[in-house]
Every structure is written in C-alpha cells, then in structure tokens.
Amino acid sequence: MTSSRNAVWAFGLAFAVLFVLSCAGSQNLGADEPNAGARAEAFVDPLPSWNDNATKARIVDFVRAVRDPDDPAFVEPSRRIATFDNDGTLWVEQPMYAEMAFALHRVKELAKVHPEWKTQQPFKAVIEGDKDALLASGHRGLAEIIMASHSGMSARLFDTIATEWVRDARHPKFEQPYTELVYQPQIELLRYLEANGFKTFIVSGGSVEFMRTFTEQVYAIPPERVVGSSIETRYELQGGKPTLLRLPEVAFVDDKAGKPVGIYKHIGQRPILAFGNSDGDFEMLQWTTTGSGGARLGVILHHDDAEREYAYDRESRVGKLDRALDAAAQSGWLIVSMKNDWNTVFAEE
C-alpha cells in the first residue's frame, strides 16, 4: 500500500510539474484563482534577486492584495496594467543612453558620405568627439543628431541598422553588449506580475522602433507592448514596393507629461503600477498613483550602487532624479535601493 501511495504522489507530482511548465508562458496563470499562486509561492520565490526586506514585502503585498477579490485593493485582471520605463529602470542608462550612443555612432558612419559635416555643428563635435561642443549645441543639436541617425530611410533599413548596432556595440564600462546589462530583479518582477494577471508594458522616452529591436528578445515583451517616442512615417511605393519611409520630423515625445498621453493613446487604460527611475517618469507615476478603484503602486529605482553599477540622482545629466525623489515621500511611491534591495544586478553576474 505504501509503494502504491508513493506511485500516486509521483503521478501527482509529475502532472503538477507538467502543469507549471505548460502554463509558464501564459499571461494569466492563476490570475483568477488566488490559491494557485499561493501554492506556487510556497515552493519557489518568484523574486530571488530581491532581498527579503520591507521593499520586497511591499511589492508582494501589493500583488497579493490586487488579486484578492475580498480585498478592497482588488483589481480585475483586465485592469492590471503595469508600465515600466526602460533606460535606467530595466537596463543601464549611464554614462549615456544606449540610443544616444547608437545615434553618435551612426553620425560617424554617415560622416563618410557627408564631408560637409567636418565643419558643421553638431556633426563636427560628434566626429571629433568634442563633448563640450556637443553639449553646447543643446537641444537643437541633439535633435539634428537624432534626425540624421534615425530618419531618411525605410523602416526596414532602420531596423537592420539598429539591430546590428545593438548586437555589436559594447558598453564602455562593462565591456559587454547593452543587452547583457538588463537588471535581473526587473526581469523577475515582469514575470511575477504577468504570472499574477498583469499586462506589462514598456513606456519610455526612447524611440519605439529602436527599443523594439531588442525588447522581445531581452525582456520577453512583444512589440505591441512597447510605447515610446516616434518620428513621422510615410507609407509609399518605392519602385512599386510598399515602403514605410522615416521622415525627419518628430511625431510624439513619450517623456515627462508625454508618458500619460502615450499610455492613453496606446494602452487605453490607466496603469495600476508604474516603475521609473528619473524625473522623466514623474507624470507617469503621478497619473498611475492618483487613479481610483483598487490599489495603486508607484516605484522608483534609486541608483545608489557605485560598486556594482552607478550612483547618481539629483545632479546627473542622464537620468536625473530630483523632483520625483522629493515627491516620493508624500505620494507614497516606493523607493527601491539598488544597493540594499537587490542581491543581484545583472542577469549574467
């Protein structure tokens, strides 16, 4: 009888494993059945790279409350929208946004067929690596660099160029591809939220087409769940072939007050969780956490880990965190300390 009982358990276990494996890709795993998630949590910590402290507890408590139909914090699965900034929230943004490094690289490549750039700012500054002159060119110079590197070609060609750069470029400090410099705790958090019925989105100031060259591979977030800045694009026939032509004109800036607008237009629902790391995320956090009906959570990643990554906030030119840091306390936004709350930073550490 004992061995038969063991056989019974072995069968049960085998099916349970099959069940967990088979559903691992499902967005709504157990979303409507709180017990299933509770059972799974008893076996495996879904956030192993997060230290077991008050920060992690607040996130786990929020998720538990949101999926408990008897809790006033409950939110229907279809309304569980979570938005994440990209640069500095999901991957490294120092010493320069990856997309900016791409743009500078691209300008240097294009300079070969633009000899006039040798004497023309801001291109001269880029070619000569003259940081001061580049900064002096200001927003207008930056816009010129972005347009020169991002437009005047088909969508397909841009995708190829950006994909190759992302594959080949190396981060100046870590000497690894940027795609290796994504934060492991955030990957765990994305999957944890999805396993609890959330739909996850990236909402970034970066250009949506640049991000989509790596977001599916790196974050397992499909293209339609990436919201970003964009330039004007025109559909036309080129030699009889349908083509999307990227034009040198900004269509939408998905940063600061643009983030709630981008969310409204693209996602069509107010998030219940927003995760950012800079003042560019202020309005997204504000919009998210002032919503009504169930719990809301705003989270800010504080880069305070010079040893494993970088330490910066109020004074930084890239990813400045000042206004949002001041607002966090009175708004109830959760501050995540990279140094104290994450036991692992990068996936490959």
Interacting residue ranges for its own copies, rule: CB under 8 A: 1, 4-5, 7-8, 11-12, 15-16, 18-19, 22-23, 25-33, 36, 78, 155, 199, 201, 208-209, 212, 216, 222-226, 230, 233-236, 241-242, 244, 251-252, 257-261, 264-269, 283, 286-287, 290
- Between 30 and 206, whose beta carbon lies closer to its own copies? 30
Which has the closest alpha carbon to 198: 278, 130, 296, 101? Answer: 296
- Between 68 and 159, whose beta carbon lies closer to its own copies? 159
Position 274: which residue type? A
Which tokens belong to 288? 């998210």
Nearest distance, CB of residue 251 and its own copies, angstroms: 8
Nearest distance, CB of residue 95 and its own copies, angstroms: 29
Nearest distance, CB of residue 136 and its own copies, angstroms: 31
- Between 51 and 331, whose beta carbon lies closer to its own copies? 331
List 91's β-bridge partners, or say none.
Answer: 87, 182
Nearest distance, CB of residue 86 and its own copies, angstroms: 14
The vertex-181 CA angle with 88 and 186, nearest 5°, equals 60
The vertex-169 CA angle with 300 and 244, nearest 5°, equals 85
Tell me the helix, strand and coil percentages in the chain, rounded to 5.
Answer: 50, 20, 35
- From CA 57, how far away is CA 199, in angstroms rounded? 21
- Between 33 and 326, whose beta carbon lies closer to its own copies? 33
Nearest distance, CB of residue 80 and its own copies, angstroms: 11
CB 25 within 8 A of CB 191: no
- Between 94 and 229, whose beta carbon lies closer to its own copies? 229
- Give Cα separations from 169 to 102, 105, 177, 179 (angstroms): 8, 9, 6, 10
- Between 48 and 223, whose beta carbon lies closer to its own copies? 223
- From CA 338, how far away is CA 69, in angstroms rounded? 33
Nearest distance, CB of residue 286 and its own copies, angstroms: 6
